[in-house]
């Protein structure tokens, strides 16, 4: 349905990440000479795009799901939260396409299959919790404050550059004091990418297990708090829409 009436159809699921990684290559590798922890840039950047695409789509589409479906919500009742949660299913399909590209192009740089699988599942769970938590917050708040719909694209773009998608987390450790490193894990994608690359490339997280624990608790908090706020707001949603 997403690619209905397009000339290339589902091929867009392959084309978009390839174009994105090409742009990242020109900017971060060619122009800025960004460090990628001795991992070939193509493999490193694609590993970041695997989960960034999932996170970004779930957040952006989930945050606007209620506004886009306001006519339907005013006519019939069903659990509103399903509209937000369903966006992860669409994002998961795109994730599989990008994952396939990554596995093919980065085959020579990958670690063991069992470690990759375990880190993939753990990173996917954290990405889901964080993206859905933020989407639940934004979707519920957007009903009262419509300006948030204008802020979401900017917020997403900000997270993209703050996340080590096309550069090593060491860039941050070299430029900020060590006592502030834990603040990096307030960005959920920081945790997701470090956990994923631990299993894929064997790269140690910036704060080792401590950082992953902080980041995992942050993802869980975002989801639980977003869920609770959404449930509290659901009764008045149809009227406010």
Distance CA(100)–CA(110), nearest Å, equals: 13
Q: What token pair was written down for 74? A: 């005013």
Q: Are 138 and 225 in contact (CB under 8 A)?
A: no
Mean pLDDT of 29-58: 93
Tell me what pLDDT residue 26 has. Answer: 94
- What 3-state class would DSSP assign to 190? helix
Q: What token pair was written down for 14? A: 């392959």
Q: What does each C-alpha distance from 147 to 81, 112, 125, 139, 152 come to in angstroms?
A: 21, 46, 30, 12, 9
DSSP state of 163: S
The reply to whether the predicted model has a pTM over 0.85 is yes
Dump pLDDT digits (tens) for 132-182: 999 999 999 988 888 888 899 999 999 999 999 999 998 888 888 888 889
pLDDT for 107 beyond 70? yes
Q: List the domain boundaries for the chain.
A: 9-240
């Amino acid at each position: 349905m997403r690619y209905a009436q397009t000339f290339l159809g589902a091929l867009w699921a392959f084309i978009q990440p390839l174009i994105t990684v090409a742009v990242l290559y020109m900017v971060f590798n060619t122009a800025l000479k960004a460090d990628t922890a001795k991992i070939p840039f193509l493999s490193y950047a694609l590993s970041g795009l695997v989960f960034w695409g999932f996170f970004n789509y779930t957040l952006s589409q989930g945050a606007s799901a209620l506004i886009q479906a306001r006519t339907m919500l005013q006519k019939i009742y069903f659990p509103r939260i399903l509209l937000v949660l369903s966006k992860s299913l669409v994002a998961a399909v795109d994730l599989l396409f990008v994952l396939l590209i990554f596995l093919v192009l980065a085959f020579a740089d990958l670690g063991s299959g069992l470690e990759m699988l375990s880190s993939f599942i753990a990173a996917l769970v954290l990405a889901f919790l964080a993206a859905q938590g933020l989407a639940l917050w934004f979707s519920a708040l957007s009903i009262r404050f419509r300006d948030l719909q204008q802020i979401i694209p900017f917020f997403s773009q900000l997270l993209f550059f703050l996340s080590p998608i096309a550069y090593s987390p060491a860039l941050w450790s070299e430029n900020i004091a060590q006592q502030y490193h834990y603040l990096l894990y307030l960005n959920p994608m920081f945790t997701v990418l470090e956990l994923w690359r631990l299993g894929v490339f064997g790269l140690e997280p910036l704060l080792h297990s401590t950082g992953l624990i902080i980041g995992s608790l942050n993802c869980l908090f975002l989801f639980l708090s977003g869920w609770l706020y959404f449930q509290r707001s659901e009764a008045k949603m149809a009227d406010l829409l």
